Amino acid sequence: MFDIKTLESYQAIDNKLYQVMDAEGKLVIPKWKSSLDNDQIVQAYRDLLFVRTADMMAVAYQRQGRMFTYPPNLGQEAIHIAAGLVMQEKDWLVPAFRELGAWLAKGVKLSEVFLYFRGHEDGSRFQEANRVLPVAVPISSQLLHASGLGYALNYQGENAAVFAFVGDGGTSEGDFHEALNFASVWDAPVVFVIQNNQFAISVPLAMQTRSKNLAVKGIAYGMESIMVDGNDIFAMHDVLSFARDYAVTNKRPILIEAVTYRAGAHTTSDDPTKYRTSEEEEEWAKKDPVLRLQKWLTRKKLWDVSTEEELIAGYRKKIDAEFEIAEHYPEYNIDDVFGYLYEEMPDELKRQKNDYMNFINSSGGVK
Amino acid sequence: MKVMNLVQAINDAMDIKLQEDKSIVVYGEDVGVEGGVFRVTEGLQVKHGKERVFDSPLAESGIAGTALGMAISGMKPIIEMQFDGFAYPAFNQIISHIARFRNRTRGKYSVPMVIRIPYGGGINALEHHSESPEAYFGHTPGLKVVIPSTPYDAKGLLIAAIEDPDPVIYLEPKRIYRAIKQEVPEEKYQIPLGKAKVISQGEDITVIAYGAMIREVQKAMVLVKEKGISVQLIDLRSIWPIDRDTIGAAVRQTGRALIVTEAQQSYGPAAELISVINEEAFLSLEAPPKRLTGFDTIIPLPLGEKHYMISPQRIAWEIEKLVNY
């Protein structure tokens, strides 16, 4: 449990990291109790395995030439699964682009994620998921949308929070600072989560900032700020639960820095061997979030590792089926290019589309 | 009917809509207590409350980006960029998100909002206070861009912009904010976006302009009338969507066209209009369409503006040359 008293002893300015269990899955806070019951924890572990499997398969699909650029989540999954456990139906999710588990928790279909990364906007329509935004490619700009959503929640009298994600590199962007400031001045209930995965593509954190950590940046904007071990799902869940309650009850934003490591490449187009060492990667692999929960569960006799292979095989079938939906999605046609810019298509666009169609009709289908 | 200038007409449009639709909020720098540096939002905060008409922190990207968040969750923000040159920090939000969100999400989320920007030169202002950025926005898919030239149009266009389901850039020609007064209906009315207006019929030449340049062209028309030249004047009103039909029909009638814009020349609105004329009226042309625009220079500080701003005399000179081509 993380409460307002815990907050007093985890002030960002003191550079103190909130952690519940260490890399061996052993509790570092004596007598710590989760607000999750054992069944929920086991389910969270299954979700971690599912997301990790889906993520690794996504990279494989890309390598097979069946998908375009994809940003792997490897190593950061605990943050997303914890957020998924905390977010309520009325809460908004404002992702960056590396939050697969949080998306799925909000009801986004895996086939939609695959469709998007296969290169189709229909993957961002999110047929059955509400209050969740699509990938935001320009860094940090999505945080301002979160602050505006927070204003709207207050204006419309709703008791809900906005969960907004950004990376460590994103904290250098002006929009990061504007978003924190607007949310604070407006008393917007936004939980800002920085996923500090140590690298912005190839640029290490030391070249982004001279702040002692990233959470301290919230202090200047008058908001509570907490640094948490992002590879520790218990710590993440504690802090995000507290943050949501805090934001909704006090109508205030709060900043969380989740310290983690991007174990994979930035995207499938990136080659991390150019900018980091295998020693560093191995060091972080020991702190892996999935492995860590597995150790805790095994020690508690809540999990039998020998069942995992079969479980994952089942997941793989399910994930392949989702990918098939994306792969066999209807052909991208010209209405997909023109049809969604405005509620009603202006004559000028109709004319341009018509010109193109006249060519297609005369060329026998050659584009 | 009530006599209003542009400032009053724009204020009236917002007042009516604020009264009618509780999802609307108005915010920006100094728009609350002060009523805006041009007083366009004067009195709105007192009347509609601090939750609905308010000062935001001084950050244009922040103003635009937060408005997107509001718009996708059922609100309708009307935001103000204090000056044309101060809109540039908001470019990323406008171009990368506001203009694209409907397309990106295949219509799941739309962004109904109005971005009001006082624009244009001729007011003896500091640097960054006299820009004509319409081409940037007109070039951006997903936006609509309108510019009124009269109080009547200012009110009707703004109401239409607020009621439009998509983001609209509403550029206010600040040079004529208080210079033109006109009888304006007190009730609500809309002027459709995307429609140009034939201000006056004439036989010898079509002049297309918008915003503060309309008044300058009208002054030029008086000068050339003495020489027996009759001008058909078109107020473009909508930078995008562009009203191809009205422009084409007009130039087909006169066979001659002059475009007058305060904006710089290259890749600007005048170039776009001449393309439309070539496509729609080529066989009727009696002379090459001509553009009289701002130079491809930085708009000078006040002492140099007389060279940059287009005078009625210069417009008249170009009209005569084209008619006698």
Given the residues A70, A262, A292, A315, select the one marked as catalytic.
Answer: A262
Q: pLDDT per residue over B35-88, tens digit each?
A: 999 999 999 999 999 999 999 999 999 999 999 999 999 999 999 999 999 999
Amino acid at site A30: P
Q: Element (H or E) spanning B24, and its range?
A: strand B24-28
Q: Could you say which DSSP state residue A301 is in?
A: T
Question: What's the confidence (pLDDT) of residue A367?
Answer: 84
Q: If you average pLDDT over residues B15-42, what whole number do you get?
A: 98
> What's the whole-model pTM score?
0.97
User: Do A101 and A219 belong to one domain?
Assistant: yes
What is the interface size between A and B, counted as CB pairs within 8 Å?
A: 139
Looking at A32-36, A146-150, B220-224, B288-292, which range is the least confident one?
A32-36
Q: If you average pLDDT over residues B102-125, what whole number do you get?
A: 97
d(CA B296, CA B298): 7
Q: Which residues of chain A are under the pLDDT cut of 70?
A: none
Provide, rounded to the nearest whole percent, the portion of chain A with pLDDT above 90: 98
Asked if B112 and B76 count as a contact pair (C-beta separation under 8 A), the reply is yes
A121 touches B at CB < 8 Å:
yes
Q: Which CATH number fits domain B2-184: 3.40.50.970, 2.30.42.10, 3.40.50.300, 2.60.120.10?
A: 3.40.50.970
Amino acid at site B325: Y
User: Do A244 and A354 belong to one domain?
Assistant: no
d(CA B140, CA B119): 18
Residue from A151, A166, A353 whose CB has the most chain B CBs within 10 Å, to mutate: A151
Question: What's the confidence (pLDDT) of residue B22?
Answer: 98
Amino acid at site A155: Y
Question: How far off is chain A from B11, nearest CA to CA, in Å?
Answer: 23
Q: Element (H or E) spanning A229, and its range?
A: strand A224-229
| B75 SS3 class | coil
Asked if the Cβ–Cβ distance from B69 to A126 is below 8 Å, we say no
Q: Is the pLDDT of residue B258 over 90?
A: yes
Domain extent listing, chain B? 2-184, 197-323
Q: Token pair for residue A149? A: 């959503």
**Chain B interface residues facing chain A, Cβ-Cβ under 8 Å?**
25, 51, 56-57, 59, 61-62, 64-75, 77, 89, 92-93, 96-97, 102-110, 141-142, 144, 165-166, 194, 240-242, 244-245
Q: pLDDT per residue over B299-314, tens digit each?
A: 999 999 999 999 999 9
Rounded to 5 degrees, φ, ψ at A196 are -85, 90
Evaluated on CA atoms B180, B135, B158, B244, the torsion sign reads positive
Q: What is the mean pLDDT of chain A?
A: 97
Q: Is the pLDDT of residue B108 over 90?
A: yes
Amino acid at site B69: G
State the pairing for strand pair B144-146/B238-240: antiparallel
User: Do A356 and A276 belong to one domain?
Assistant: no
Question: What's the confidence (pLDDT) of residue A251?
Answer: 98
User: Do A348 and A223 belong to one domain?
Assistant: no
d(CA B232, CA B201): 4
d(CA A310, CA A304): 12
Question: What's the confidence (pLDDT) of residue A365?
Answer: 78
Which chain B residue lies closest to A174 (C-alpha atoms)? B61
Asked if the Cβ–Cβ distance from A125 to B105 is below 8 Å, we say yes
Q: Token pair for residue B68? A: 């997107």
Question: What's the confidence (pLDDT) of residue B122?
Answer: 95
User: Do A20 and A52 belong to one domain?
Assistant: yes
A221 touches B at CB < 8 Å:
no
Q: Is the pLDDT of residue B175 over 90?
A: yes
Q: Within chain A, what is the greatest distance between any pair of CA atoms?
A: 76
Asked if the Cβ–Cβ distance from A126 to B108 is below 8 Å, we say yes
User: Do A65 and A138 belong to one domain?
Assistant: yes
Query: Same CATH fold, B197-323 and B2-184?
Result: yes
| B93 SS3 class | helix
CATH architecture for residues B197-323 = 3-Layer(aba) Sandwich (3.40)
Nearest to B68 among A124, A145, A185 (CB): A145
CATH code, A38: 3.40.50.970
Question: What's the confidence (pLDDT) of residue A364?
Answer: 85
Asked if the Cβ–Cβ distance from B64 to A144 is below 8 Å, we say yes
User: Do A238 and A90 belong to one domain?
Assistant: yes
Provide, rounded to the nearest whole percent, the portion of chain B with pLDDT above 90: 100
Question: What's the confidence (pLDDT) of residue A87?
Answer: 98
CA angle at A66 for the pair A62 and A71, rounded to the nearest 5°: 30
Given the residues B48, B97, B129, B307, select the one marked as catalytic.
Answer: B129
Asked if the Cβ–Cβ distance from A146 to B51 is below 8 Å, we say no
Residue A314 CB neighbour total at 10 angstroms: 12
Asked if A165 and A238 count as a contact pair (C-beta separation under 8 A), the reply is no
Question: What's the confidence (pLDDT) of residue A137?
Answer: 95
Asked if B236 and B210 count as a contact pair (C-beta separation under 8 A), the reply is yes
Evaluated on CA atoms B281, B282, B286, B289, the torsion sign reads positive
- Please report, for residues A127, A198, A331, B314, the alpha-carbon distance to residue A115 in angstroms, rounded to integers and kept in the order given: 13, 29, 12, 57
Q: pLDDT per residue over B137-153, tens digit each?
A: 999 999 999 999 999 99
Q: If you average pLDDT over residues B101-122, what whole number do you get?
A: 98
User: Do A155 and A12 belong to one domain?
Assistant: yes
Domain extent for A106: 4-332
Q: If you average pLDDT over residues B119-124, what whole number do you get?
A: 96
Q: Token pair for residue B317? A: 């000179």
Asked if A127 and A112 count as a contact pair (C-beta separation under 8 A), the reply is yes
Asked if the Cβ–Cβ distance from B65 to A145 is below 8 Å, we say yes
To the query of whether residue B139 is one of the catalytic residues in this protein, the response is no
Q: Token pair for residue A90? A: 């009325």
User: Do A241 and A103 belong to one domain?
Assistant: yes
Rounded to 5 degrees, φ, ψ at B12 are -65, -40
Exposure string over B293-323, b if 16+ CB within 10 A, otherwise e: bbeeeebbeeeebeebbbebeebbebbbebb
Asked if the Cβ–Cβ distance from A346 to B241 is below 8 Å, we say yes
Given the residues A118, A244, A252, A266, select the one marked as catalytic.
Answer: A266
User: Do A208 and A342 belong to one domain?
Assistant: no
Asked if B17 and B24 count as a contact pair (C-beta separation under 8 A), the reply is yes
d(CA A353, CA A335): 8
**Number of compact structural domains in chain A:** 2
Question: What's the confidence (pLDDT) of residue A366?
Answer: 83
User: Do A357 and A210 belong to one domain?
Assistant: no
Asked if the Cβ–Cβ distance from B103 to A92 is below 8 Å, we say no
To the query of whether residue A52 is one of the catalytic residues in this protein, the response is no
Residue A43 CB neighbour total at 10 angstroms: 14
Rounded to 5 degrees, φ, ψ at B172 are -105, 115
A124 touches B at CB < 8 Å:
yes
Asked if B105 and A125 count as a contact pair (C-beta separation under 8 A), the reply is yes
Question: What's the confidence (pLDDT) of residue B23?
Answer: 98
Question: How far off is chain B from A182, nearest CA to CA, in Å?
Answer: 7
Question: What's the confidence (pLDDT) of residue A63?
Answer: 96
* ipTM rounded to 2 decimals: 0.96
Q: Is the pLDDT of residue B252 over 90?
A: yes
> Which residues, in sequence order, are CB contacts of A250 under 8 Å at separation 6+?
A189
A146 touches B at CB < 8 Å:
yes
- CA dihedral angle for residue A107, residue A112, residue A114, residue A119, rounded to 10 degrees: -140
